[in-house]
Amino acid sequence: MILPKSPRLTPAQLAEVTAIVEPFGCSVQPIVGAIRTIYAIVGDERDELMINRIEGLDYIERFDRIQSPHKLMDARSDLASHRITFGGVTLGESLLVIAGQCTIDPKNPNFLYETAHAVKEAGANALRGGVWKPRTNPYSFQGDSKSLDILMEAHRRTGLPVDAEVMDETQLHLALDAGVHMLQIGARNALNYSLLRAIGRAVADRKTVVLLKRSLHMGPISEFISAAEYIVSFGNPNVLLCPRGTAPTLDGYRNHPDESITPLLKEKTWAPVVVDPSHSVGKAAYVPACALAAVAYGADGLCIEAHVQPSQGIGDDPKQALTPEVLATTITQARQLWALRRPSKVT
């Protein structure tokens, strides 16, 4: 849909627009209004280059997209009936909870083993453990490949499937070779299209689940979904969308809580939404409230940081990790709220 700046296009302008859209298999249809004429682009109007060329015309006010740009991720695509199961939970049927440490301490593997048992006891379905960590400060601890063995050992001891963030192709292949069950793409790499493609290619023939965090900025929802489309386009549709707070911090939390985006995502895509309240608010005391708010907004799962002794943790754990006791209460309340919302779900 094109809106010109003037009440209508001149014949020469209309000819110019037509010449732009025809090579893309589209045509222009004027819609004569009482005051202003606007112009529908009939055909597949999703080509970015065509849109850019029209927006580049100085007599055009704006181009309003009518079609969804997502072939596979769209709420009405053939994949809409696809169901993802992880940690024994079918997303959408009950609440998935992933819990564990922000960062594994390679010098103290027992912390992760104990945390793994504790989060299982508290009701979590899967274990997260940071092997490599994106750090603002180049001189901070950046993680250690040895922690991958610790993570897999925690899996063997508890039976919980494990989730690890990967930041480049080397880490990706180390993680897959070790047998990690869920690959996490962090907020800083959420639009790293080279990595998204590498992951899509690598998991194409596997059942590995990919947890895609939202980028740090509040981009349009379609940009978030397009990042998932990159992965799914290679063939594996097991992708979960994870809002985790955005920057800048607008009110006083570590990030700006964004669980409220959940219903808006669910209108556009069939992909399940798993919210990370720990990074959203960034402080253990606020995490339970944020986790419940996510469930209130319709989240299908939660990804929560927990540690048997938060003050002895590394990375973000001393600030953010819940103790097993608080985690257990949070999971219980979250599941109660999930059940409460079920029959009368409005959104």
Q: Pick out residues in 201-220 that bind a second copy (CB under 8 A).
A: 215-220
Mask for 8-37, x = binds a second copy (CB under 8 A): ---------------------x-x-xxxx-
Contact between 286 and a second copy per CB under 8 A: yes
Contact between 191 and a second copy per CB under 8 A: yes
Contact between 59 and a second copy per CB under 8 A: no
Looking at beta carbons only, is 157 or 341 nearer to a second copy? 341
Looking at beta carbons only, is 180 or 328 nearer to a second copy? 328
Looking at beta carbons only, is 28 or 211 nearer to a second copy? 28
Query: Which conformational region is residue 12 in: left (phi greater than 0), alpha (psi within -120 to 50 degrees), or beta?
Result: alpha
Q: Give 43-47 contacts, CB < 8 A, sequence gap 24+.
A: none
- Tell me the three state secondary structure of residue 328: helix
Q: Which stretch binds a second copy (CB under 8 A): 85-93, 128-136, 175-183, 203-211?
A: 128-136
Classify residue 43 by its DSSP letter.
Answer: S
340: CB partners within 8 A, 6+ apart: none
Contact between 333 and a second copy per CB under 8 A: yes
- The minimum distance between CB 287 and a second copy, in angstroms, equals 8
Distances (CA, A) of 320 to 113, 294, 327, 328: 19, 17, 12, 16
User: Where in 235-274 is the site for a second copy (CB under 8 A)?
Assistant: 246-248, 250-253, 257-264
The answer to whether the beta carbons of residues 273 and 214 sit under 8 Å apart is no
> b vs e for 20-57, b when ≥16 Cβ sit within 10 Å of the residue's Cβ?
bbeebebebeeeeeeeebbbbbebebbbeebbebbeeb
Q: Which stretch binds a second copy (CB under 8 A): 40-48, 83-91, 121-129, 201-209?
A: 40-48
- The minimum distance between CB 188 and a second copy, in angstroms, equals 4
